Structure 1
Amino acid sequence: MQLTRRAKGLLITLTGVSLLIPDALSIRLAGLDSWNVVFWRSLLGGLVVMLVVLVTRRHEGPLKALRLSRLGLLLVALICTANIGFVMAMHHTKAANVLIVLALSPMFSALFDRLLFQLRLATRTWLAILSCLIGVTILVIDGLGGGTHLGNLIALGTAMLMGLEFSLMGQVQQRQIWPALSLAYLLSAAIAALMVSSITLEGANIPIVMAMGLLIVPFSFMLICLGPGYIPAPEVAIMLLLETVMGPLLVWWVLGEDPGRYALLGGAIVVTTLICHAITDLMQDRRERRAALKKGSAG
Protein backbone atom coordinates (compact mmCIF):
# COMPACT_ATOMS: atom_id res chain seq x y z
CA MET A 1 0.00 0.00 0.00
CA GLN A 2 1.35 3.39 -0.98
CA LEU A 3 1.77 5.78 1.94
CA THR A 4 0.22 9.22 1.83
CA ARG A 5 2.45 12.25 2.30
CA ARG A 6 1.23 12.71 5.88
CA ALA A 7 1.72 9.03 6.75
CA LYS A 8 5.20 9.14 5.26
CA GLY A 9 6.04 12.23 7.34
CA LEU A 10 4.80 10.62 10.54
CA LEU A 11 6.80 7.45 9.83
CA ILE A 12 10.01 9.34 8.99
CA THR A 13 9.75 11.55 12.08
CA LEU A 14 8.80 8.72 14.43
CA THR A 15 11.72 6.62 13.19
CA GLY A 16 14.12 9.51 13.75
CA VAL A 17 12.80 10.20 17.25
CA SER A 18 12.99 6.49 18.12
CA LEU A 19 16.66 6.42 17.08
CA LEU A 20 17.26 9.45 19.34
CA ILE A 21 15.82 7.87 22.51
CA PRO A 22 19.20 6.35 23.62
CA ASP A 23 20.85 9.78 23.33
CA ALA A 24 20.31 10.80 26.96
CA LEU A 25 21.69 7.46 28.16
CA SER A 26 24.72 7.70 25.86
CA ILE A 27 25.49 11.19 27.20
CA ARG A 28 25.43 9.84 30.76
CA LEU A 29 27.65 6.87 29.85
CA ALA A 30 30.12 8.85 27.72
CA GLY A 31 32.10 10.13 30.69
CA LEU A 32 32.67 13.61 29.22
CA ASP A 33 31.85 17.11 30.42
CA SER A 34 29.20 19.16 28.61
CA TRP A 35 31.39 20.98 26.11
CA ASN A 36 33.35 17.84 25.23
CA VAL A 37 30.05 16.09 24.58
CA VAL A 38 29.03 18.95 22.29
CA PHE A 39 32.38 18.79 20.48
CA TRP A 40 32.49 15.05 19.81
CA ARG A 41 28.81 14.50 19.00
CA SER A 42 28.80 17.55 16.72
CA LEU A 43 32.11 16.77 14.99
CA LEU A 44 31.36 13.10 14.37
CA GLY A 45 27.72 13.70 13.54
CA GLY A 46 28.57 16.52 11.14
CA LEU A 47 31.17 14.43 9.32
CA VAL A 48 28.77 11.49 8.95
CA VAL A 49 25.99 13.66 7.54
CA MET A 50 28.44 15.33 5.15
CA LEU A 51 29.71 11.92 4.02
CA VAL A 52 26.14 10.76 3.35
CA VAL A 53 25.46 13.89 1.29
CA LEU A 54 28.66 13.58 -0.73
CA VAL A 55 28.16 9.86 -1.41
CA THR A 56 24.49 10.12 -2.38
CA ARG A 57 25.20 13.13 -4.62
CA ARG A 58 28.63 12.15 -5.88
CA HIS A 59 27.61 12.84 -9.48
CA GLU A 60 27.08 16.53 -8.62
CA GLY A 61 30.46 17.33 -7.11
CA PRO A 62 31.11 18.59 -3.53
CA LEU A 63 30.36 22.27 -4.14
CA LYS A 64 26.99 21.68 -5.76
CA ALA A 65 26.05 18.92 -3.31
CA LEU A 66 26.64 21.19 -0.30
CA ARG A 67 25.34 24.43 -1.84
CA LEU A 68 22.96 26.41 0.38
CA SER A 69 20.60 29.32 -0.24
CA ARG A 70 20.27 32.24 2.17
CA LEU A 71 17.48 30.39 3.97
CA GLY A 72 19.75 27.35 4.18
CA LEU A 73 22.51 29.45 5.75
CA LEU A 74 19.99 30.88 8.22
CA LEU A 75 19.02 27.32 9.11
CA VAL A 76 22.69 26.52 9.78
CA ALA A 77 22.88 29.45 12.21
CA LEU A 78 19.65 28.43 13.96
CA ILE A 79 20.63 24.77 14.42
CA CYS A 80 24.10 25.71 15.68
CA THR A 81 22.82 28.38 18.09
CA ALA A 82 20.06 26.14 19.46
CA ASN A 83 22.59 23.35 19.97
CA ILE A 84 24.90 25.62 21.95
CA GLY A 85 21.97 27.25 23.75
CA PHE A 86 20.80 23.89 25.08
CA VAL A 87 24.20 23.20 26.63
CA MET A 88 24.41 26.69 28.13
CA ALA A 89 20.90 26.41 29.57
CA MET A 90 21.73 23.05 31.17
CA HIS A 91 24.87 24.64 32.66
CA HIS A 92 23.05 27.62 34.21
CA THR A 93 19.79 26.12 35.44
CA LYS A 94 18.17 22.83 36.44
CA ALA A 95 17.60 20.19 33.79
CA ALA A 96 13.90 20.05 34.72
CA ASN A 97 13.54 23.79 34.04
CA VAL A 98 15.20 23.35 30.65
CA LEU A 99 12.96 20.44 29.67
CA ILE A 100 9.72 22.21 30.56
CA VAL A 101 10.73 25.38 28.72
CA LEU A 102 11.86 23.43 25.65
CA ALA A 103 8.44 21.75 25.63
CA LEU A 104 7.17 25.16 24.47
CA SER A 105 9.01 24.77 21.14
CA PRO A 106 5.95 23.29 19.31
CA MET A 107 3.95 26.34 20.34
CA PHE A 108 6.66 28.69 19.08
CA SER A 109 6.84 26.71 15.85
CA ALA A 110 3.08 27.12 15.36
CA LEU A 111 3.34 30.86 16.02
CA PHE A 112 6.22 31.27 13.55
CA ASP A 113 4.33 29.23 10.96
CA ARG A 114 1.40 31.60 11.34
CA LEU A 115 3.34 34.88 11.53
CA LEU A 116 5.96 34.20 8.87
CA PHE A 117 4.34 31.77 6.47
CA GLN A 118 0.57 32.30 7.05
CA LEU A 119 0.08 28.63 7.91
CA ARG A 120 -2.80 27.65 10.18
CA LEU A 121 -2.60 24.80 12.66
CA ALA A 122 -5.50 22.42 13.26
CA THR A 123 -7.31 22.79 16.58
CA ARG A 124 -6.49 19.16 17.46
CA THR A 125 -2.78 19.96 17.17
CA TRP A 126 -3.10 22.95 19.51
CA LEU A 127 -4.85 20.65 22.00
CA ALA A 128 -2.05 18.09 21.58
CA ILE A 129 0.55 20.80 22.27
CA LEU A 130 -1.26 21.81 25.47
CA SER A 131 -1.65 18.18 26.59
CA CYS A 132 2.04 17.42 25.97
CA LEU A 133 3.06 20.57 27.84
CA ILE A 134 1.00 19.40 30.83
CA GLY A 135 2.54 15.94 30.55
CA VAL A 136 6.11 17.23 30.46
CA THR A 137 5.36 19.54 33.42
CA ILE A 138 4.16 16.55 35.45
CA LEU A 139 7.15 14.52 34.27
CA VAL A 140 9.70 16.98 35.68
CA ILE A 141 7.65 18.51 38.51
CA ASP A 142 9.90 17.01 41.20
CA GLY A 143 12.89 18.91 39.80
CA LEU A 144 11.27 22.24 38.96
CA GLY A 145 12.35 25.46 40.64
CA GLY A 146 15.73 26.89 41.51
CA GLY A 147 18.31 27.51 38.84
CA THR A 148 19.10 31.02 37.65
CA HIS A 149 17.13 33.58 35.70
CA LEU A 150 19.92 33.59 33.10
CA GLY A 151 19.62 29.84 32.57
CA ASN A 152 15.85 30.02 32.31
CA LEU A 153 16.10 32.87 29.77
CA ILE A 154 18.64 30.93 27.71
CA ALA A 155 16.28 27.92 27.73
CA LEU A 156 13.42 30.14 26.57
CA GLY A 157 15.54 31.59 23.79
CA THR A 158 16.58 28.08 22.76
CA ALA A 159 12.93 26.96 22.63
CA MET A 160 12.13 29.92 20.37
CA LEU A 161 15.10 29.11 18.12
CA MET A 162 14.00 25.48 17.88
CA GLY A 163 10.48 26.57 16.96
CA LEU A 164 11.81 28.85 14.22
CA GLU A 165 14.23 26.12 13.11
CA PHE A 166 11.44 23.58 12.55
CA SER A 167 9.26 26.15 10.79
CA LEU A 168 12.10 27.08 8.46
CA MET A 169 12.76 23.41 7.65
CA GLY A 170 9.30 23.26 6.15
CA GLN A 171 10.18 26.09 3.76
CA VAL A 172 13.76 25.26 2.76
CA GLN A 173 14.29 22.91 -0.19
CA GLN A 174 14.65 19.37 1.16
CA ARG A 175 17.95 18.87 -0.64
CA GLN A 176 19.42 21.64 1.55
CA ILE A 177 18.37 20.13 4.88
CA TRP A 178 21.21 17.63 5.28
CA PRO A 179 23.99 19.98 4.10
CA ALA A 180 22.68 22.61 6.53
CA LEU A 181 22.60 20.04 9.34
CA SER A 182 26.16 18.94 8.59
CA LEU A 183 27.58 22.48 8.51
CA ALA A 184 25.68 23.43 11.68
CA TYR A 185 27.17 20.47 13.54
CA LEU A 186 30.69 21.25 12.35
CA LEU A 187 30.27 24.90 13.34
CA SER A 188 29.05 23.77 16.79
CA ALA A 189 32.13 21.56 17.11
CA ALA A 190 34.42 24.48 16.22
CA ILE A 191 32.79 26.68 18.87
CA ALA A 192 32.95 23.88 21.47
CA ALA A 193 36.65 23.37 20.72
CA LEU A 194 37.27 26.95 21.86
CA MET A 195 35.48 26.29 25.17
CA VAL A 196 37.45 23.26 26.37
CA SER A 197 41.02 22.92 27.55
CA SER A 198 41.40 19.50 25.94
CA ILE A 199 39.49 17.57 23.28
CA THR A 200 41.11 14.22 23.99
CA LEU A 201 38.99 11.20 24.86
CA GLU A 202 41.11 10.24 27.83
CA GLY A 203 38.91 8.57 30.43
CA ALA A 204 35.91 8.53 28.13
CA ASN A 205 33.81 5.53 27.18
CA ILE A 206 35.03 5.55 23.59
CA PRO A 207 32.59 2.97 22.15
CA ILE A 208 29.66 4.96 23.59
CA VAL A 209 31.06 8.24 22.23
CA MET A 210 31.51 6.65 18.80
CA ALA A 211 27.99 5.20 18.81
CA MET A 212 26.56 8.55 19.85
CA GLY A 213 28.45 10.59 17.27
CA LEU A 214 28.49 8.17 14.35
CA LEU A 215 25.05 6.58 14.64
CA ILE A 216 22.56 8.07 17.09
CA VAL A 217 22.98 11.79 16.42
CA PRO A 218 23.44 11.92 12.64
CA PHE A 219 20.84 9.38 11.53
CA SER A 220 18.16 10.41 14.03
CA PHE A 221 18.36 14.10 13.14
CA MET A 222 18.70 13.43 9.42
CA LEU A 223 15.26 11.82 9.58
CA ILE A 224 13.71 14.28 12.06
CA CYS A 225 14.82 17.25 9.96
CA LEU A 226 13.05 15.79 6.92
CA GLY A 227 9.76 15.67 8.84
CA PRO A 228 8.66 19.31 8.30
CA GLY A 229 8.79 18.70 4.56
CA TYR A 230 5.87 16.29 4.91
CA ILE A 231 3.87 17.35 7.97
CA PRO A 232 3.43 20.69 9.78
CA ALA A 233 6.56 21.73 11.69
CA PRO A 234 4.75 21.97 15.07
CA GLU A 235 3.75 18.31 14.73
CA VAL A 236 7.39 17.35 14.28
CA ALA A 237 8.30 19.38 17.37
CA ILE A 238 5.54 17.62 19.33
CA MET A 239 6.82 14.18 18.33
CA LEU A 240 10.31 15.16 19.49
CA LEU A 241 8.85 15.32 23.01
CA LEU A 242 8.68 11.53 22.89
CA GLU A 243 12.46 11.52 23.37
CA THR A 244 12.02 13.88 26.33
CA VAL A 245 9.83 11.23 27.95
CA MET A 246 11.48 7.98 26.88
CA GLY A 247 15.10 9.14 27.29
CA PRO A 248 14.94 9.54 31.11
CA LEU A 249 12.92 6.31 31.41
CA LEU A 250 15.65 4.44 29.52
CA VAL A 251 18.26 5.92 31.89
CA TRP A 252 16.09 4.75 34.79
CA TRP A 253 15.83 1.23 33.36
CA VAL A 254 19.57 0.87 32.61
CA LEU A 255 21.20 2.87 35.42
CA GLY A 256 18.49 2.63 38.06
CA GLU A 257 18.16 6.42 38.38
CA ASP A 258 14.57 7.10 39.44
CA PRO A 259 13.32 10.12 37.42
CA GLY A 260 10.70 10.96 40.06
CA ARG A 261 7.30 9.79 41.24
CA TYR A 262 5.44 11.72 38.56
CA ALA A 263 7.55 10.50 35.65
CA LEU A 264 5.31 7.62 34.63
CA LEU A 265 2.14 9.73 34.80
CA GLY A 266 3.62 12.60 32.79
CA GLY A 267 5.18 10.21 30.31
CA ALA A 268 1.88 8.36 29.87
CA ILE A 269 0.09 11.62 29.11
CA VAL A 270 2.63 12.61 26.44
CA VAL A 271 2.76 9.16 24.80
CA THR A 272 -1.05 8.78 24.82
CA THR A 273 -1.43 12.26 23.33
CA LEU A 274 1.04 11.51 20.54
CA ILE A 275 -0.64 8.20 19.71
CA CYS A 276 -4.13 9.74 19.67
CA HIS A 277 -2.95 12.70 17.59
CA ALA A 278 -1.23 10.45 15.04
CA ILE A 279 -4.29 8.19 14.73
CA THR A 280 -6.58 11.22 14.33
CA ASP A 281 -4.29 12.65 11.66
CA LEU A 282 -4.24 9.41 9.70
CA MET A 283 -8.03 9.04 9.94
CA GLN A 284 -8.48 12.62 8.71
CA ASP A 285 -6.03 11.94 5.90
CA ARG A 286 -7.99 8.83 4.88
CA ARG A 287 -11.30 10.74 4.88
CA GLU A 288 -9.78 13.46 2.69
CA ARG A 289 -8.44 10.87 0.24
CA ARG A 290 -11.81 9.14 0.02
CA ALA A 291 -13.55 12.46 -0.57
CA ALA A 292 -11.04 13.33 -3.32
CA LEU A 293 -11.56 9.94 -5.00
CA LYS A 294 -15.33 10.32 -4.92
CA LYS A 295 -15.07 13.82 -6.35
CA GLY A 296 -12.73 12.56 -9.10
CA SER A 297 -14.96 9.65 -10.06
CA ALA A 298 -18.04 11.89 -10.06
CA GLY A 299 -16.30 14.33 -12.37
Structure 2
Amino acid sequence: MNEHLKGLIITTLGVLFVVPDSLFVRLIQAEPMVTAFWRGLSSGGLILIGLLLFQKGKGFGPVLRAGWPAVIYIALIGFTTAGFVLAIENTSVANVVFIFATMPIFAAIFERVFLKQSVSLRMTITMIFVIFGMGIIAYGSTESEIASWKGDLWALSVSAAYAAALTAVRSLKDISMIPAIPIAYIGAAFILAFFTSPMEAAQTQWGLILAHGTFIAIATCFLTLGPRYISTAEVSLLILLESVLAPLLVWAVLNENPGTWALAGGTVVIGALIVSNLVVMLRPRSTKRVKN
Protein backbone atom coordinates (compact mmCIF):
# COMPACT_ATOMS: atom_id res chain seq x y z
CA MET A 1 0.00 0.00 0.00
CA ASN A 2 1.45 3.37 -1.01
CA GLU A 3 1.53 6.30 1.43
CA HIS A 4 -1.13 8.32 -0.41
CA LEU A 5 -3.68 5.49 -0.21
CA LYS A 6 -2.73 4.90 3.43
CA GLY A 7 -3.35 8.58 4.17
CA LEU A 8 -6.76 8.49 2.45
CA ILE A 9 -7.83 5.38 4.39
CA ILE A 10 -6.62 6.63 7.79
CA THR A 11 -8.19 10.09 7.34
CA THR A 12 -11.49 8.62 6.09
CA LEU A 13 -11.64 6.31 9.11
CA GLY A 14 -10.95 9.30 11.36
CA VAL A 15 -13.85 11.21 9.83
CA LEU A 16 -16.20 8.21 10.15
CA PHE A 17 -15.31 7.77 13.82
CA VAL A 18 -15.97 11.45 14.57
CA VAL A 19 -19.39 11.46 12.85
CA PRO A 20 -21.28 10.00 15.89
CA ASP A 21 -19.78 12.61 18.26
CA SER A 22 -22.82 14.89 18.15
CA LEU A 23 -25.19 11.90 18.42
CA PHE A 24 -23.48 10.77 21.64
CA VAL A 25 -23.88 14.27 23.09
CA ARG A 26 -27.59 14.09 22.30
CA LEU A 27 -27.97 10.58 23.76
CA ILE A 28 -26.16 11.17 27.06
CA GLN A 29 -28.73 12.51 29.52
CA ALA A 30 -26.75 14.96 31.64
CA GLU A 31 -25.99 18.62 32.13
CA PRO A 32 -23.81 20.00 29.28
CA MET A 33 -20.76 20.46 31.51
CA VAL A 34 -21.09 16.92 32.86
CA THR A 35 -21.14 15.59 29.30
CA ALA A 36 -18.14 17.78 28.47
CA PHE A 37 -16.30 16.51 31.55
CA TRP A 38 -16.73 12.85 30.59
CA ARG A 39 -16.07 13.59 26.90
CA GLY A 40 -12.71 15.09 27.82
CA LEU A 41 -11.74 12.62 30.55
CA SER A 42 -12.71 9.45 28.69
CA SER A 43 -11.20 10.33 25.30
CA GLY A 44 -8.13 11.99 26.83
CA GLY A 45 -7.59 9.08 29.20
CA LEU A 46 -7.79 6.51 26.39
CA ILE A 47 -5.32 8.44 24.22
CA LEU A 48 -3.00 8.78 27.23
CA ILE A 49 -3.11 5.02 27.83
CA GLY A 50 -2.33 4.39 24.17
CA LEU A 51 0.66 6.76 24.25
CA LEU A 52 2.02 5.15 27.40
CA LEU A 53 1.65 1.66 25.92
CA PHE A 54 3.03 2.30 22.45
CA GLN A 55 5.42 5.23 22.95
CA LYS A 56 6.28 4.82 26.64
CA GLY A 57 5.37 8.49 27.05
CA LYS A 58 8.35 9.66 24.97
CA GLY A 59 6.26 12.08 22.91
CA PHE A 60 5.40 14.34 25.83
CA GLY A 61 8.90 15.81 26.16
CA PRO A 62 9.00 17.56 22.76
CA VAL A 63 5.48 18.95 23.29
CA LEU A 64 6.28 20.29 26.76
CA ARG A 65 9.48 21.92 25.43
CA ALA A 66 7.74 23.49 22.42
CA GLY A 67 6.97 26.77 24.21
CA TRP A 68 4.05 29.12 23.70
CA PRO A 69 2.73 27.58 20.44
CA ALA A 70 2.11 24.30 22.27
CA VAL A 71 0.60 26.09 25.28
CA ILE A 72 -1.81 28.01 23.02
CA TYR A 73 -2.68 24.80 21.15
CA ILE A 74 -3.43 22.90 24.38
CA ALA A 75 -5.52 25.75 25.82
CA LEU A 76 -7.61 26.15 22.66
CA ILE A 77 -8.17 22.43 22.15
CA GLY A 78 -9.16 22.19 25.81
CA PHE A 79 -11.70 24.97 25.29
CA THR A 80 -13.31 23.08 22.42
CA THR A 81 -14.14 20.19 24.77
CA ALA A 82 -16.82 22.22 26.52
CA GLY A 83 -17.52 24.50 23.55
CA PHE A 84 -18.58 21.62 21.31
CA VAL A 85 -21.04 20.26 23.86
CA LEU A 86 -22.52 23.72 24.50
CA ALA A 87 -22.96 24.19 20.76
CA ILE A 88 -24.75 20.85 20.34
CA GLU A 89 -26.95 21.46 23.39
CA ASN A 90 -28.06 24.92 22.20
CA THR A 91 -28.71 24.52 18.48
CA SER A 92 -29.29 21.87 15.85
CA VAL A 93 -26.58 19.36 14.97
CA ALA A 94 -26.83 20.44 11.33
CA ASN A 95 -26.08 24.06 12.24
CA VAL A 96 -23.08 23.00 14.34
CA VAL A 97 -21.39 20.83 11.72
CA PHE A 98 -22.12 23.24 8.89
CA ILE A 99 -20.56 26.05 10.93
CA PHE A 100 -17.57 23.83 11.76
CA ALA A 101 -16.97 23.56 8.01
CA THR A 102 -15.90 27.23 8.08
CA MET A 103 -12.67 26.29 9.84
CA PRO A 104 -10.49 26.77 6.69
CA ILE A 105 -11.80 30.33 6.44
CA PHE A 106 -10.75 31.14 9.99
CA ALA A 107 -7.40 29.48 9.34
CA ALA A 108 -6.81 31.69 6.29
CA ILE A 109 -7.69 34.82 8.31
CA PHE A 110 -5.40 33.87 11.21
CA GLU A 111 -2.55 33.02 8.85
CA ARG A 112 -2.96 36.43 7.21
CA VAL A 113 -3.06 38.30 10.54
CA PHE A 114 -0.43 36.41 12.54
CA LEU A 115 1.79 34.78 9.91
CA LYS A 116 1.53 37.55 7.30
CA GLN A 117 0.56 35.09 4.58
CA SER A 118 -1.41 36.45 1.64
CA VAL A 119 -4.99 35.35 0.98
CA SER A 120 -5.45 34.06 -2.57
CA LEU A 121 -8.27 35.18 -4.86
CA ARG A 122 -9.65 31.63 -4.66
CA MET A 123 -9.91 31.83 -0.88
CA THR A 124 -11.39 35.34 -0.98
CA ILE A 125 -14.19 34.18 -3.29
CA THR A 126 -14.71 31.12 -1.07
CA MET A 127 -15.01 33.37 1.99
CA ILE A 128 -17.73 35.44 0.30
CA PHE A 129 -19.83 32.36 -0.44
CA VAL A 130 -19.22 30.89 3.02
CA ILE A 131 -20.29 34.13 4.73
CA PHE A 132 -23.43 34.14 2.57
CA GLY A 133 -24.16 30.54 3.59
CA MET A 134 -23.58 31.43 7.24
CA GLY A 135 -26.09 34.24 6.88
CA ILE A 136 -28.70 31.76 5.66
CA ILE A 137 -27.98 29.44 8.61
CA ALA A 138 -28.21 32.36 11.06
CA TYR A 139 -31.54 33.45 9.60
CA GLY A 140 -32.82 29.89 9.86
CA SER A 141 -31.95 29.83 13.55
CA THR A 142 -34.54 32.54 14.15
CA GLU A 143 -37.20 30.47 12.39
CA SER A 144 -36.47 27.03 13.89
CA GLU A 145 -37.53 25.53 17.23
CA ILE A 146 -34.40 23.34 17.54
CA ALA A 147 -31.86 25.97 16.45
CA SER A 148 -30.63 29.03 18.33
CA TRP A 149 -28.15 31.79 17.67
CA LYS A 150 -26.56 31.04 21.07
CA GLY A 151 -25.56 27.56 19.95
CA ASP A 152 -24.49 28.94 16.57
CA LEU A 153 -22.14 31.35 18.34
CA TRP A 154 -20.66 28.50 20.38
CA ALA A 155 -20.12 26.51 17.19
CA LEU A 156 -18.49 29.53 15.55
CA SER A 157 -16.17 30.00 18.54
CA VAL A 158 -15.16 26.31 18.45
CA SER A 159 -14.44 26.52 14.71
CA ALA A 160 -12.30 29.61 15.28
CA ALA A 161 -10.51 27.96 18.23
CA TYR A 162 -9.60 24.88 16.18
CA ALA A 163 -8.30 27.05 13.36
CA ALA A 164 -6.30 29.22 15.78
CA ALA A 165 -4.86 26.09 17.45
CA LEU A 166 -3.67 24.72 14.11
CA THR A 167 -2.22 28.11 13.18
CA ALA A 168 -0.34 28.28 16.48
CA VAL A 169 1.51 25.02 15.81
CA ARG A 170 2.35 25.69 12.16
CA SER A 171 5.96 26.21 13.26
CA LEU A 172 6.05 22.81 15.04
CA LYS A 173 5.83 20.58 11.96
CA ASP A 174 8.49 18.18 13.23
CA ILE A 175 6.67 17.54 16.52
CA SER A 176 3.75 15.11 16.84
CA MET A 177 0.95 16.94 18.65
CA ILE A 178 -0.94 13.78 19.62
CA PRO A 179 0.55 13.90 23.18
CA ALA A 180 -0.89 17.41 23.52
CA ILE A 181 -4.43 16.09 23.06
CA PRO A 182 -4.73 14.17 26.36
CA ILE A 183 -3.14 17.11 28.16
CA ALA A 184 -5.82 19.39 26.69
CA TYR A 185 -8.75 17.01 27.19
CA ILE A 186 -7.86 15.83 30.69
CA GLY A 187 -6.89 19.38 31.70
CA ALA A 188 -10.29 20.64 30.57
CA ALA A 189 -12.00 17.83 32.51
CA PHE A 190 -9.99 18.72 35.62
CA ILE A 191 -11.19 22.34 35.42
CA LEU A 192 -14.80 21.29 34.75
CA ALA A 193 -14.69 18.98 37.79
CA PHE A 194 -14.83 22.05 40.04
CA PHE A 195 -18.16 23.10 38.51
CA THR A 196 -19.93 19.76 37.98
CA SER A 197 -21.08 16.62 39.78
CA PRO A 198 -20.31 13.97 37.16
CA MET A 199 -20.58 10.71 39.08
CA GLU A 200 -24.35 10.27 38.85
CA ALA A 201 -24.25 10.27 35.04
CA ALA A 202 -21.37 7.78 35.06
CA GLN A 203 -23.27 5.33 37.26
CA THR A 204 -26.24 5.12 34.91
CA GLN A 205 -24.68 5.80 31.49
CA TRP A 206 -21.11 4.48 31.72
CA GLY A 207 -21.55 2.47 28.50
CA LEU A 208 -22.47 5.54 26.43
CA ILE A 209 -19.72 7.60 28.07
CA LEU A 210 -17.05 4.98 27.37
CA ALA A 211 -18.23 4.49 23.79
CA HIS A 212 -18.22 8.27 23.26
CA GLY A 213 -14.67 8.57 24.53
CA THR A 214 -13.50 5.62 22.44
CA PHE A 215 -14.88 7.08 19.22
CA ILE A 216 -13.32 10.49 19.93
CA ALA A 217 -9.95 8.96 20.87
CA ILE A 218 -9.75 6.88 17.68
CA ALA A 219 -10.94 9.75 15.50
CA THR A 220 -8.42 12.16 17.04
CA CYS A 221 -5.48 9.83 16.44
CA PHE A 222 -6.50 8.98 12.88
CA LEU A 223 -7.15 12.63 11.96
CA THR A 224 -3.74 13.57 13.34
CA LEU A 225 -1.86 10.78 11.52
CA GLY A 226 -3.70 10.61 8.18
CA PRO A 227 -3.06 14.17 6.94
CA ARG A 228 0.70 13.50 7.02
CA TYR A 229 0.35 11.48 3.80
CA ILE A 230 -2.16 13.49 1.73
CA SER A 231 -2.64 17.10 0.68
CA THR A 232 -4.48 19.73 2.73
CA ALA A 233 -7.15 19.96 0.02
CA GLU A 234 -7.81 16.21 0.21
CA VAL A 235 -8.01 16.38 4.01
CA SER A 236 -10.47 19.28 3.82
CA LEU A 237 -12.71 17.41 1.38
CA LEU A 238 -12.74 14.26 3.51
CA ILE A 239 -13.50 16.20 6.69
CA LEU A 240 -16.54 17.72 4.94
CA LEU A 241 -18.01 14.21 5.04
CA GLU A 242 -18.79 14.83 8.71
CA SER A 243 -20.85 17.88 7.81
CA VAL A 244 -22.96 15.68 5.55
CA LEU A 245 -23.13 12.46 7.58
CA ALA A 246 -23.53 13.78 11.16
CA PRO A 247 -26.89 15.56 10.61
CA LEU A 248 -28.16 12.56 8.61
CA LEU A 249 -27.19 10.18 11.44
CA VAL A 250 -28.93 12.30 14.09
CA TRP A 251 -31.93 12.72 11.78
CA ALA A 252 -32.16 8.94 11.29
CA VAL A 253 -31.73 8.03 14.98
CA LEU A 254 -33.47 10.91 16.78
CA ASN A 255 -35.65 12.32 13.99
CA GLU A 256 -34.00 15.75 14.29
CA ASN A 257 -34.95 17.46 11.06
CA PRO A 258 -32.23 20.03 10.19
CA GLY A 259 -34.76 22.35 8.55
CA THR A 260 -34.82 23.96 5.12
CA TRP A 261 -32.72 27.00 6.01
CA ALA A 262 -29.95 24.97 7.65
CA LEU A 263 -29.79 22.63 4.65
CA ALA A 264 -29.77 25.55 2.22
CA GLY A 265 -27.05 27.43 4.10
CA GLY A 266 -25.04 24.26 4.63
CA THR A 267 -25.23 23.47 0.93
CA VAL A 268 -23.79 26.90 0.09
CA VAL A 269 -20.98 26.55 2.67
CA ILE A 270 -20.02 22.99 1.78
CA GLY A 271 -20.44 23.57 -1.95
CA ALA A 272 -18.12 26.58 -1.86
CA LEU A 273 -15.47 24.64 0.08
CA ILE A 274 -15.72 21.61 -2.22
CA VAL A 275 -15.24 23.75 -5.34
CA SER A 276 -12.37 25.64 -3.69
CA ASN A 277 -10.55 22.44 -2.71
CA LEU A 278 -11.16 20.80 -6.08
CA VAL A 279 -9.54 23.80 -7.76
CA VAL A 280 -6.43 23.18 -5.68
CA MET A 281 -6.43 19.42 -6.31
CA LEU A 282 -6.86 19.76 -10.07
CA ARG A 283 -4.30 22.53 -10.43
CA PRO A 284 -1.00 21.43 -12.04
CA ARG A 285 1.53 20.50 -9.36
CA SER A 286 4.08 23.10 -10.42
CA THR A 287 1.48 25.86 -10.34
CA LYS A 288 0.21 24.67 -6.95
CA ARG A 289 3.57 25.33 -5.36
CA VAL A 290 3.66 28.91 -6.65
CA LYS A 291 0.10 29.99 -5.85
CA ASN A 292 -0.59 28.28 -2.56
Aligned to 1:257: 256
Aligned to 1:55: 53
Aligned to 2:204: 203
Shift of 1:253: 1.4
Q: Give unpaired runs (5+ residues) of structure 1.
A: 292-299
TM-score (norm 2): 0.75
Greater displacement, 72-81 / 60-69: 60-69
Amino acid of the structure 1 residue aligned with 2:34: N
Aligned to 1:124: 122
Aligned to 1:161: 161
Task: Give secondary structure in 2 for the equivalent of 1:175.
Answer: coil
Distance in 1 (alpha carbons) for counterparts of 2:45 and 2:30? 20
Aligned to 1:44: 42
Shift of 1:221: 2.3
Aligned to 1:284: 283
Aligned to 2:212: 212
The count of residues paired between Structure 1 and Structure 2 equals 283
Distance in 2 (alpha carbons) for counterparts of 1:259 and 1:20? 19
Distance in 1 (alpha carbons) for counterparts of 2:254 and 2:120? 40
Aligned to 1:193: 193
Amino acid of the structure 2 residue aligned with 1:19: F
Amino acid of the structure 1 residue aligned with 2:72: L
Q: Give unpaired runs (5+ residues) of structure 2.
A: none
Amino acid of the structure 2 residue aligned with 1:202: Q
Quick one: percent identity of the two aligned structures?
A: 28
1:225-236 correspondence runs (5 A): 225=224, 231=231
Shift of 1:211: 1.5
1:118-157 correspondence runs (5 A): 118-135=116-133, 137-138=135-136, 141-144=139-142, 157=157
Distance in 2 (alpha carbons) for counterparts of 1:73 and 1:164? 12
Shift of 1:228: 7.1
Amino acid of the structure 2 residue aligned with 1:190: F
Distance in 2 (alpha carbons) for counterparts of 1:226 and 1:250? 25
Structure number with greater Rg is 1
**C-alpha spacing 1:8/1:267, structure 2 compared with 1 (3 Å):** farther
Please list the CA deviations of residues 88-119 of structure 1 after superposition, one character each: whole Å capped at 9, or x if unmatched.
5667x645886676555432211211222233
Amino acid of the structure 2 residue aligned with 1:55: L
Shift of 1:213: 0.4
Distance in 1 (alpha carbons) for counterparts of 2:195 and 2:99? 25
RMSD: 4.0
Q: Any conservation in 2 of the 1:135–1:266 contact (CA below 8 Å)?
A: yes
Distance in 2 (alpha carbons) for counterparts of 1:263 and 1:162? 22
TM-score (norm 1): 0.73
Counterpart of 1:18 (choices 16, 19, 36) is 16
Task: Give secondary structure in 2 for the equivalent of 1:53.
Answer: helix
Distance in 2 (alpha carbons) for counterparts of 1:48 and 1:100? 28
Q: Any conservation in 2 of the 1:20–1:217 contact (CA below 8 Å)?
A: yes
